[in-house]
A and B are shown apart, each in its own frame.
Chain A
Amino acid sequence: MWSIGPILASFALLGAQAAPSAGSEHIKLKDGTVVQGRATAYDAQKKVLSFRTADGKDMAYTLDQLDQRSVYHVTASIVPKDNARGQIQLANYARDIGLYAHAARSYQYAEKADPSLKPEIDQERVLGRRLAADYCIQQAQAAFAKNDVKEAERWLSLLVEKLPNEPQAEQAAAVLEQHYMAERNARDDELEREQAELLEKDLKLGKERYDRMIERTKQGLTARSSQSEALWEGAIADGEVVLKEIGKIEKKYADDPRVQEGGARYRQLTIAQMVDAHLHLASRYTVSSSYNKALKHTNAALALDPQNEQARAQRARIEQASSEGIGLNWF
């Protein structure tokens, strides 16, 4: 495990005479206690953080007393973004305690500050990618253990989309291959039974395209990178046909509440699947830093489902990375 000591030792005593107001920050101690207040100084030699609590008490905490996230927070607060060496050490620490997003960002700051360090940074990123891939597998396994297949699928998809060249991505693709269709088929099993007649007659094409949309989305997740995009695009095109077909039968059977209800439920399932495909594409495009394409698919997902949290978060991240001029790669 990498130590944060050398970074902190390289920064002088900070803010010894400060007397800020209390109440807007927090630190967490190793035992889980959260202390509200404001940091007033940091002594790099002694590795002691001075902290004025919200009720006005002046406290001093050694880094050993803080939980790892707070140690990271203190360190990130004193290492300037343009200090390439400091940012590499900070990134390594963040990576080793599982703060992968923070680590990825600090590697980018380091590279920006001193491009000549890129080979060294890339070496550290290799380890970052491996650890992040392991983390995805662990999270998926934990979700499977709780029978939360949807959550497991999300972790495996993330791994396949964001770290497609890691050996664990193949393992993830194999597990997805096994579970994806079963989970999706289960979603419309009941509806299929209820609407058997309609599916046989008026919604035959729609159902065919619906099944193909799911198959193509799955293939996109399990295929190698270059083919995935075309498969997800195809899945979205299938989804559009399904929505049109649903529209047609809703018009034809305008007075039949059972058909109307079935149509609404199929529309919901189709939209959810199309949103998935758009987000897979957006996620993949962020890996290649194709902001415009990523944004286009995130917006398309939001046009279908304006409250989708994942899409809203994705859009915010893309816009931020684009305005900051940094990549969206994990590592």
Chain B
Amino acid sequence: MFARTLLPLFAAVALALPIACGSNSSAEDIACTCGTPQADLEGCAHSLCLAGKTNPDNPDCVCGSLSIPR
């Protein structure tokens, strides 16, 4: 009974977590250095930047594009 009640809650949390984590970053990922002098010169090696996307967790990240509809 208890498990049956909680099951939908667990399912909802499990589904919501990856969506909420916009940056998809993990401990293994290379740190996002956007906004530092070094990254301005050499480029940032964070996975999102290399994939041509903006890192939503770093306000100084200008990699990728804003979603301005065309």
Contact = CB atoms under 8 A, between A and B. Distances in A.
A, B: real partners:
yes
Nearest to B44: A101
Given A69-B60, A316-B30, A317-B50, A39 B41 contact: no
B54 to A, nearest CB: 7
A100 B66 contact: no
Nearest to A34: B59
B40 A100 contact: yes
Contacts of B60: 28, 69
Contact of A101 (B30, B42, B54, B56): B42
B68 A15 contact: yes
Most chain B CB neighbours (cut-off 10 Å) among A41, A42, A101: A101
Contacts of A312: 30, 45
Contacts of A70: 62
B68 A135 contact: no
Contact of B50 (A39, A100, A102, A316): A316
Interface string B58-70: 0110100111111
B22 A20 contact: no
A33 to B, nearest CB: 10
A226 interface: no
A121 interface: no
A177 to B, nearest CB: 23
A186 interface: no
A309 B31 contact: yes
Contacts of A136: 41
A74 B64 CA distance: 10
A25 B41 contact: no
Contact of A313 (B30, B35, B41, B62): B30
A76 B47 CA distance: 19
Given A312-B30, A316-B45, A25 B67 contact: yes
Given A72-B62, A316-B50, A317-B43, A24 B69 contact: no
A14 interface: yes
Interface in B11-35: 22, 30-31, 33, 35
B68 to A, nearest CB: 5
A39 B66 contact: yes
Given A72-B62, A99-B40, A316-B30, A25 B69 contact: no
Nearest to B22: A24
Interface in A283-323: 309, 312-314, 316-317, 320
Contacts of B47: 316
**Shortest Cβ-Cβ A-B pairs, 4 listed:** A15-B69, A101-B43, A313-B45, A77-B65
Given A77-B66, A100-B41, A135-B41, 14 more contacts: A15-B69, A25-B54, A38-B66, A39-B66, A49-B68, A69-B35, A73-B65, A98-B40, A132-B41, A139-B37, A313-B30, A313-B33, A314-B45, A317-B42
Interface of A: 14-15, 18, 20, 24-28, 34, 38-42, 49, 69-70, 72-74, 76-78, 98-102, 105, 132, 135-136, 139, 158, 309, 312-314, 316-317, 320, 330
Interface of B: 22, 30-31, 33, 35, 37, 39-45, 47, 50, 54, 56, 59-60, 62, 65-70
